[in-house]
Each structure stands twice: as C-alpha cells, then as structure tokens.
Structure 1
Amino acid sequence: MVWVRSEYAGPLAVVLTWLSALLPWNVTYSPAISGGSVLFVRFPFFQVRYAFGVPFADAVRLFDPLSAVAFQSGNSIRVAYEAWAVGAAVLAVAVVVAVAYYAREEAFESGPVDPVRLLGGLLGLGGVVLAVATYLLATRGFPGVPLPIGVVFYLAFAGVLLTVDRT
C-alpha cells in the first residue's frame, strides 16, 4: 500500500519533520504535588509546567531539556529527562536536515542517502527515545500518568516516510 506519491515525498518529509518539532511528545497531569496539581506539557525543545491554583505569573515555568535535567539532579527521574535530552538532540538533527533539504532539494536528492528515508529514520529514532523517556517517567515514581501523544505521531510519521515508494 502506498500512502504518498513519490513526487510529494520530499515536501511531506520536510513538513512532517517541522510538525514534529511543534508537537508535545508528552503530556502529564500530576494531581496534588505539594498541595496542588501540575500539568506538564513537554515539547521536544522545551517543557511548560503549569501549577493550578497559583497566580499565573508564578504558575507557568519553562524549561529546556538540559536545564530540566539539571533541575532533576539527585532524583530517580533524572534518567527520563536525560533520555528526553537525547530525543531532543535527535529531533534537532532532523529539523536541521529538513531545513537543509528544503533549501537545497536537488543537491540532497542526488546525494548518496535518500533524504526522505533519512528523515523517517530520524523521526523514528526520536520517537523510540522519547517513548523510553515516557516509560522512565511512568516507572521512576513521577506522579501522574504520562501520555506519549507526540511519540505516537513521530512513529507514525516515520512509518509513512520509511515506506514511501521512491521509484
């Protein structure tokens, strides 16, 4: 079964990669942390933490993956945040490749590696690493249930791009 026609595979790979950078890979609602509930929305390159029942200026905090790892120093969930940092790095490479592919399509198309499959592989690898991060969040004592929303999309996007008929 062919999901995408060959002539549209390149633009689709670029758009799916850019979309992946904008999708949250994980959403977690943690009830009753220190007396209040907290919502974590983790995007590949930053996390938004919203504490309910607190004035908005104090309720919202932003973290990038590296500062989130540092913040979790000494906690059992630090390894989950380290996996997030690795997944973010993989997706950052994918975004750089997608931008370069968009800017110089002919050069990439004539190269030794199929850029569509390369982007599909990077999205798949990022999805697997972030799935591991979600698993680690769920099993290392982090309160709440982490929902791997973006992870499902990353893996689906990878499947579409890796199965494109490029003949």
Structure 2
Amino acid sequence: MVWVRSEYAGELAVLSTWVAALLPWNLFYGAVAGGTVLFVRFPLFQIRYAFGVPLVRATSVSSPVSAYLLQSGTSVQIAYGAWLVGACVFLVALGVSVYYYREEERAESWRVDPVDVLGGLLVASATLFLVASVLFPERFFGIGFGVGGGLPGVSIPVGAALQFVLGGVLLRAEQVR
C-alpha cells in the first residue's frame, strides 16, 4: 500500500525531515533530588527545566555532545552515546533535505532516490533515539526499563515514534523517475 502520491514524495521527504527537527524525540517529567525536572530532548539539543531542585539552574540547554561529555564515565553514558549517534545521523538527514530542497533536479539525478535516502536516515535516527529512550534511567511510559530501574517519572519518546513512522512512509513511497 502506498500512502504518498509520487509527485508529492519529494516535498513530503523534505517537510518530514524539517518537522522531525522541530519535534522533541523524548519528553521526561519526574521527581529528582527533592524537586521535579522536565527534559525536552530535540534531535540536536536538550532543554532541562528544574523546579525546586537545590543547586541546579532552573533552565539549561545542552547539545548531545556536551550532554554526552558531561555523562562520561557514568552508567548512562551509553544512552547519551546513542542520542549523540542519532543526532549525527539526523544532522546528515537535515543536510540532505536542505540540498534536496535547493537543488531538486540534481538530487533527483542521484543513483539512489533522495526520498529513500531521507526515509532511511529518519528511520535510522529514530531507532537510535528509541534505543536511547530505553537506556535512559527513566521510566519509559511509566515502566522502569532504564539503567538502575528508572527514575520516578514518565519518559515518552513522542517525536522518535512519529519520526519512525514518517521515515517508514517515505520508504514506502513510490517515485516516478
């Protein structure tokens, strides 16, 4: 079953990649150190809001690189590593989508279909984001799968699931070449 008409597949591929950049791939809200914390993780950065946590800035923004380096040597470094690799794959997808948008004729002359390339990159990065979601020491959909049984709270991979679906739709789109 094909869900996308071939003449719109390119536009959908570019738009899907850009929408995935704007959606947080993971949301976590929970109790930490006498307060509450909200992590909003986007593909290329994370925003942390802390409420009532002593000695912690109320709001901070970090990149996957800085978050990974901050967790160096801890039990959650592998989760941040999965996010970092996923962010790198997503950054490639974002670059391909910008090139495809600006140079459509050149991109469509590639040996591989750029819609398939973007679909594959979105699925690959979404898979890595889902792996990171499971490896974080948080309760995944309220169930403690993460390292150490899970922090009290809820972690939902909202954008990662949607990104996975969008990538799958792109991989199933048939292009008329």
TM-score class, shorter-chain normalisation, is over 0.9
* Alignment partners' CA distance in 1, 2:26 and 2:146: 15
Count of equivalent residues: 165
The residue aligned with 2:110 is 111
- How far residue 25 of structure 1 moved from its aligned partner, in angstroms, is 0.6
Tell me if 1:130 matches 2:129.
Answer: yes
Identity, % of aligned positions: 52
The aligned runs of 1:73-84 (5 Å cut-off) are: 73-84=72-83
What's the TM-score once normalised by structure 2's chain length?
A: 0.88
- How far residue 78 of structure 1 moved from its aligned partner, in angstroms, is 1.1
Runs of 4+ in 1 over 3 A off after TM superposition: none
The aligned runs of 1:86-165 (5 Å cut-off) are: 86-137=85-136, 138-141=145-148, 142-143=150-151, 144-165=153-174
- How far residue 139 of structure 1 moved from its aligned partner, in angstroms, is 1.6
Q: Is the 8 A contact 2:14 2:100 kept in 1?
A: yes
* Alignment partners' CA distance in 2, 1:111 and 1:150: 29
Higher helix share: 1
Q: CA RMSD in A?
A: 1.6
The secondary structure found in structure 2 opposite 1:92 is helix
- How far residue 45 of structure 1 moved from its aligned partner, in angstroms, is 0.7
* Alignment partners' CA distance in 2, 1:117 and 1:86: 20
- How far residue 2 of structure 1 moved from its aligned partner, in angstroms, is 2.2
Q: Is the 8 A contact 2:34 2:52 kept in 1?
A: no
* Alignment partners' CA distance in 2, 1:79 and 1:145: 20
- How far residue 58 of structure 1 moved from its aligned partner, in angstroms, is 3.1
* Alignment partners' CA distance in 2, 1:43 and 1:101: 23
